[in-house]
Amino acid sequence: MPEYCVFCQGMIVLNKMNLTQKLKDTSMAILPVDLVVLALHVTVAPLAPHLLISFLAGSVFVILGLGVFLAGADLGIVPAGSLLGASLTRTRNLPLILIALLISGFIITIAEPNLRVQGDLVESVTGSIGSWTLVFAVAGGIGIFLGIAMLRILLQIPFRVVIILLYGIALALATRIDPSLVAIAFDSSGSATGPLTVPFFIALGIGVTSVRGGKNAEDDSFGTTGIAAIGPIFAMVVVGLLVAGKGHSVDGPLDIRVEAAAINQGALELWVSSVPSIMKSVALSLSPLAALLVFFQITLLKLPPAQVRRLVIGLAYTWLGLVLFFVGANSGFIPAGAALGGALGALGSNYFLVPVGCALGSAIVCAEPAMWVLTSQVEEVTSGNIRKPAVLTAVALGVASGVALSMWRVLAGFSVWYLVGPLYILAISLTLVTPKLFASIAFDSGSVATGPVSSAFILPLTIGASAAAGGDPARDAFGLIAMIAITPPVSMQILGIIFHAKERRALKKAGLIKGEDAK
């Protein structure tokens, strides 16, 4: 074998390897967060030295964790989800498909650690809604709506029809229940779509569409998460209607979560003490998924051994990556975020917070693990036509404007519905004009943006500002989550319209389509 053949087709190309490439990508994403925090540190909001060191060490863990998690997702959750989606569809047994999806969605959501924290908080504030009631309701909602999302793909019902219908009903029903329960509903939707559920749902959708074929396969590959995320809102509305009358009023579950995050423990102590519990909780949330895969491997998938080995290793990487990530995030990122929020809030009612929120918002969303899975799947499904940076930029701009608008609203003190209402209507109506693929990616990106990192980092800032401006912190915090959930769909769809126009111009220039050709 001539030696140059070795050169061309393999070699240990360490600097070009997938994992190294991923680490490079994630470092580029986390560095802006570091820069923003450092800039704030030297200017207006100096952090205590141990917090700053902790934060910087935390970012190293977050970068490593994200990189390893993504490598693991590529080997484990993503192929598993899409193989499962494909095999289920191939059985052509509709009841089986729907039941399997319902159970899968339910089991995986129950395992989401954020959701359990959310359940405990809601129980402690409402008294009338038990922790497990919330968890089961939300997981059930996700399961049912995951089924609806797949049914849509199989029956080829346009995404926009489903989204308009479901969001329309959800928003209409939301006006029928206690406004504070609406806050819980939206927040539950945010906590149910975490770093494990989102990649799996995205992959399921891609798997189902990949065997369906047809010319719209690409358009329908996404949107599963966006539809599933409506489930918890419906579920909470049902719970709200059931407990109506006998419940007490709710005073802001989010408030408590933020205080819980602002820990005054010694930095090193926090690092060491958090590791075992994180290892356990990540393992706990991965185990139902693993059990599900073992079950389907025996009954349905029957993959060849090489493939099984990859899945197992992938799940191990996912675990390791998430442990590293959460250790870094919980011990470094979140305390710094809380301290920063407090310091900035203490500056008082100050419009300086608007650009700060903007910068932090756009930087922090790039640290969401699920965001990276979404962008790389988009790139893969479109064969590189829609690149990662384009999607990331659109979502970052969306979150930035969402945070900035929320800050402005908090400082100016008007009701959140004046912003959220029109934005939801705008996002839903944009589905009518935007290219179909972008509409479905857009709603996925909305549920991805409300992940554990962005809410943990930006919420304290809002709470601080709200307290300083004399607002109601609980309601303001809710407004923020609802805003971050809806601004990325708007910005993604606008990107879609621009993208489409540019593509048409390029094709026209190349003489491939005629000017009067409408489509």
Partner 1 sequence: MNYDTAIYTLVNHGIGERIAALTRERGARGGTILVGKGTSDSALLRFLSIADIERELLITLVTDDQKPALIESIRAHCAKARHAGCLFTITTGGKRMDCQSKFECITVIVNRGYADDVMEAARKAGATGGTILHARGTGKPDDEKFFGITIVPEKEQVIILAGRDTAEGIKSAISALECLAVPGMGIMYSSPVEDFMPLGK
Q: Is 214 in the site for partner 1 (CB under 8 A)?
A: yes
Among 34, 130, 132, 156, binds partner 1 (CB under 8 A): 156
Longest dimension (CA), the chain: 81
Q: In the bound complex, what is the minimum distance in angstroms from residue 378's beta carbon to partner 1? A: 12
Which residue in the set 131, 210, 274, 297 belongs to the binding site for partner 1 (CB under 8 A)? Answer: 210
Q: Which of 50, 248, 309, 502 binds partner 1 (CB under 8 A)?
A: 309
* Residue nearer to partner 1 on the CB measure, 87 or 466: 87
CB 334 within 8 A of CB 380: no
CB 118 within 8 A of CB 72: no
The one among 56, 107, 211, 241 contacting partner 1 by CB under 8 A: 211
Distances (CA, A) of 211 to 85, 162, 408, 515: 9, 22, 47, 35
Determine the interface stretch with partner 1 among 38-46, 353-361, 377-385, 441-449 (rule: CB under 8 A). Answer: 377-385
Residue 5 contacts partner 1 per CB under 8 A: yes
Residue 304 binds partner 1, judged by CB under 8 A: yes
Q: Output 194 or 314, the one with its CB closest to partner 1.
A: 314
Asked if residue 298 binds partner 1 (CB under 8 A), the reply is: no
* Stretch touching partner 1 by CB under 8 A, among 205-213, 351-359, 450-458, 487-495: 205-213
Q: Is 246 in the site for partner 1 (CB under 8 A)?
A: no
Rounded to an integer, what is the distance from CA 143 to the centroid of its chain? 17
Q: Does 15 bind partner 1 (CB under 8 A)?
A: yes
> Using the rule CB under 8 A, which residue among 355, 384, 413, 422 binds partner 1?
384
Classify residue 211 as exposed, middle or buried by CB count within 10 Å of its CB (0-12, 13-18, 19+): middle
| Nearer to partner 1 (CB atom), residue 15 or residue 264 | 15
Residue 92 interacts with partner 1 (CB under 8 A)? yes
Distance of closest approach, residue 387 Cβ to partner 1, in angstroms: 9
In this structure, the dihedral spanned by the alpha carbons of residues 340, 343, 346 and 349, taken in order and rounded to 10 degrees, is -50
> How far is the CA of 438 from the CAs of 369, 390, 395, in angstroms?
21, 12, 12
- Identify which of residues 150 and 329 has a Cβ nearer to partner 1 in the complex: 150
* Stretch in the footprint of partner 1 (CB under 8 A) among 142-150, 311-319, 454-462, 474-482: 311-319
**Residue 232 beta carbon to partner 1: minimum distance, rounded to whole angstroms:** 28
Among 83, 239, 442, 494, binds partner 1 (CB under 8 A): 83
Among the listed residues 230, 303, 403, 459, the single contact to partner 1 using CB under 8 A: 303
Q: Which of residues 427-486 bind partner 1 (CB under 8 A)?
A: none
| Six token digits for residue 267 | 């930095």
Q: Which is nearer to partner 1, 409 or 436 (CB)?
A: 436
Residue 386 CB, shortest distance to partner 1, in Å, is 12
Q: How far is CA 429 from CA 56, 112, 145, 262, 397, in A?
A: 42, 32, 21, 39, 20
Give Cβ neighbours of residue 22 (< 8 Å, ≥ 6 apart). Answer: 66, 67, 70, 71
Output the smallest distance, CB 455 to partner 1, in A: 31
Angle among Cα 48, 49, 54 to the nearest 5 degrees reads 100
Could you say whether residue 90 binds partner 1 (CB under 8 A)?
A: yes
Q: Nearer Cβ to partner 1, position 15 or 249?
A: 15
Crossing angle (nearest 10°) for helices 305-328 and 49-75: 170
Q: How far is the CB of 315 from partner 1 (least distance, A)?
A: 11
| CA dist., res. 311 & res. 314, Å (int) | 5
User: How many other C-beta atoms can be found within 10 angstroms of the C-beta atom of residue 16?
Assistant: 9
Min separation Cβ 214 and partner 1, Å? 7
Using CB under 8 A, pick the residue from 42, 49, 95, 155 that binds partner 1: 155
6 binds partner 1 (CB under 8 A): yes
Counting contacts by CB under 8 A, is residue 306 touching partner 1?
yes
Count of residues of this chain found to bind partner 1 when the rule CB under 8 A is applied: 46
C-alpha closest to that of 29 among 367, 322, 360: 367
Task: Answer for the pair 168, 428: CB distance below 8 angstroms, yes or no.
Answer: yes
Q: Measure the CA–CA gap between 315 and 277, rounded to whole angstroms.
A: 19
Count of beta carbons in the 10 Å neighbourhood of residue 2: 7
What does each C-alpha distance from 379 to 27, 28, 325, 485, 503 come to in angstroms?
19, 18, 24, 22, 16
Q: Which parts of this chain interact with partner 1 (CB under 8 A)?
A: 1-2, 4-13, 15-19, 21, 71, 74-75, 83, 86, 89-90, 92, 154-156, 210-214, 303-304, 306-307, 309-310, 313-314, 317, 380, 383-384
